[in-house]
Amino acid sequence: MTRLNLNDARCEALFASVLQRSDSPTAERAAEAIRRAVRQFGTRGCAGQIAQEFGDHPEAAADRMRWVRQLVAATARPASLGPEPLADPRSWPPPGHDSARRRGGDERDV
């Protein structure tokens, strides 16, 4: 997955998450919100949530997407570390989860 696609997927998941601007999220809270949204909705479901919100509340959705893009850009992993895959919502545990490390899984985090 390219860096652009990864950032797009993160934005979609964060948009679909329950995280709010008023939560003053840290990078860790944003990453957790992304993981939870992907587990709950899947990547296609996150995109569906966005489509629904833009249909129902276009101005609020546009504001949220601007905030989400800013947050993802501010919390993005340095390019020197390479891209990270989003966890497949059908696989558990996701990369970086404690039980994945114990089993020798991927230690990278979303």
pLDDT tens sequence across 14-69? 999 999 999 999 999 999 999 999 999 998 999 999 999 999 999 999 999 999 99
pLDDT at 96: 55
Phi, psi of 86 (to 5 degrees): -75, 145
Alpha-carbon distance 110 to 76, whole Å?
Answer: 10
65: Cα separation from own chain's centroid: 12
Distances (CA, A) of 74 to 44, 69, 79, 105, 110: 24, 8, 13, 27, 14
